[in-house]
């Protein structure tokens, strides 16, 4: 039961109260909105109340609210930290366009218009934002917050598969320019065809007698990467690079804690710049993720077994080394 109004304030609308100097509207969001001075007329107070009420009703059910709720959801917490960060980045452009719009009012034609406009400056970025919105609307649809996923049936732009292959000379140039920890990270990634997020997350518990246990954060695929002299040396190199030895982590920062992606990226970018300056004849324009492609491309055996990928199409994305063919 709501509390009884103080005498003389019975005329005030719900959630409006007299404050110290002004009438205040306190909506369900928990904020306090000053409407008008205590000396204002009833008409002025009611007019301001209806203005604020309309604004808050527009906000309820908006894309802004939906995205905020998605980022707080248990479903979002199941996504890998790297993907979470990318989704949060994707949401900025989406909010700038759809933020105040009712989530239920977003239709496929709106998504198409967004894609066409966004695609003028970046087709890849438009595709990533499409993927984010589709994940968002799937989550909302399953909870009865939208009638359909408006991204369904809206085509993405065609993307050319990345074909950058790192030559041995290019890899060696960056390796020699890198600090010890970055060298170790490069080598572990190459030996295991592992993503950077999986390398940075490595702990000593993942060392087994047979090899290095890695469960891919993106796909959930678990493998034991068999020990080779090169992989054993890389793991030892990573541990030796620790100024404060961690009893838990294989890759650690200067105080024995997990090395963040941003901290690694600074080291990686510095190594590439130095390598480019030392070797102007080379084009050091590859990404760290291209190391995984080099690892798969260089492997002469079963590429699926080595990488953990199940399909030929997945292997085709990473197998970039030009193959030799016979001639007449």
pLDDT (mean) for 3-24: 86
Looking at residue 211, the DSSP 8-state letter turns out to be E
Highest mean pLDDT: which range of 23-27, 44-48, 75-79, 234-238: 234-238
Q: How confident is the model at residue 251 (pLDDT cuts 50, 70, 90)?
A: very high
Q: Which two tokens stand for residue 35?
A: 């409407």
Residue 264: pLDDT over 90: yes
- Taking phi first (over 0 means left), then psi (-120 to 50 degrees means alpha), and beta for anything else, what does residue 31 get? beta
Q: What is the pTM of this model?
A: 0.66
Q: How confident is the model at residue 27 (pLDDT cuts 50, 70, 90)?
A: confident
| Cα separation, 179 vs 238, whole angstroms | 11
pLDDT (mean) for 151-159: 95
pLDDT score, position 58:
60
* 36-50, 144-158, 175-189: least confident range: 36-50
Averaged confidence pLDDT in the chain: 91
CA 190 from centre of chain = 23
Beta-carbon contacts of 132 under 8 Å, excluding residues fewer than 6 positions away, are: 86, 87, 90, 91, 94
pLDDT (mean) for 46-71: 85
* Degrees, nearest 5: CA angle 93-94-95: 90
| Cα separation, 31 vs 36, whole angstroms | 16
Q: For 26, how many CA atoms within 13 A lie in the half-sphere containing its CB?
A: 10
pLDDT score, position 41:
93
CA 53 from centre of chain = 35
Residue 72: pLDDT over 80: yes
pLDDT score, position 1:
43
Q: What angle, 0 to 180 degrees and rounded to 10, lies between the N-to-C axes of helices 261-278 and 168-177?
A: 110
pLDDT (mean) for 190-201: 94
**Nearest Cα residue to 68 out of 102, 91, 36:** 91
| Cα separation, 295 vs 286, whole angstroms | 14
56-66 pLDDT, tens digit per residue, is: 766 678 999 89
Give the 3-state secondary structure of residue 18.
strand
93-125 pLDDT, tens digit per residue, is: 999 999 989 999 999 999 999 999 999 999 999
120-151 pLDDT, tens digit per residue, is: 999 999 999 999 999 999 999 999 999 999 99
């Amino acid at each position: 039961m709501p509390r009884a109004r103080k005498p003389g304030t019975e005329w005030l609308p719900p959630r409006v109260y007299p404050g110290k100097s002004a009438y205040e509207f306190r909506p369900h969001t928990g904020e306090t909105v000053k409407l008008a001075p205590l000396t204002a007329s009833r008409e002025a107070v009611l007019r301001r109340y209806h203005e604020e009420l309309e604004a808050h009703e527009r906000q309820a059910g908006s894309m802004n609210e939906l995205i905020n709720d998605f980022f707080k959801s248990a479903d979002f917490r199941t996504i890998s930290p790297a993907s979470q960060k990318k989704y949060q980045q994707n949401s900025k452009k989406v909010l700038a366009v759809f933020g105040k719009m009712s989530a239920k009012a977003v239709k496929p034609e709106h998504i198409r218009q967004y894609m066409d406009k966004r695609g003028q400056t970046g087709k890849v970025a438009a595709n990533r934002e499409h993927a984010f919105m589709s994940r968002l609307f799937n989550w909302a649809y399953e909870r009865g917050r939208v009638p359909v996923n408006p991204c369904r049936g809206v085509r993405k732009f065609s993307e050319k598969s990345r074909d950058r292959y790192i030559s041995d000379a290019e890899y060696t140039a960056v390796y020699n320019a890198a600090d010890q920890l970055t060298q170790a990270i490069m080598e572990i990634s190459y030996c295991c065809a592992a993503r950077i997020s999986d390398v940075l997350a490595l702990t000593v518990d993942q060392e087994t007698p047979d090899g290095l246990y890695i469960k891919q954060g993106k796909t959930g695929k678990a493998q034991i990467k068999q020990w080779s002299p090169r992989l054993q040396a890389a793991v030892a190199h990573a541990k030796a690079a620790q100024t404060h030895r961690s009893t838990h982590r294989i890759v650690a920062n200067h105080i024995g804690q997990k090395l963040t992606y941003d901290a690694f990226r600074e080291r990686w970018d510095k190594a590439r710049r130095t390598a480019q300056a030392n070797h102007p004849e080379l084009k050091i324009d590859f990404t760290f993720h291209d190391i995984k492609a080099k690892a798969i491309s260089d492997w002469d055996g079963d590429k699926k077994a080595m990488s953990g990928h199940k399909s030929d199409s997945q292997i085709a994305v990473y197998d970039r080394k030009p193959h030799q063919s016979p001639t007449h």
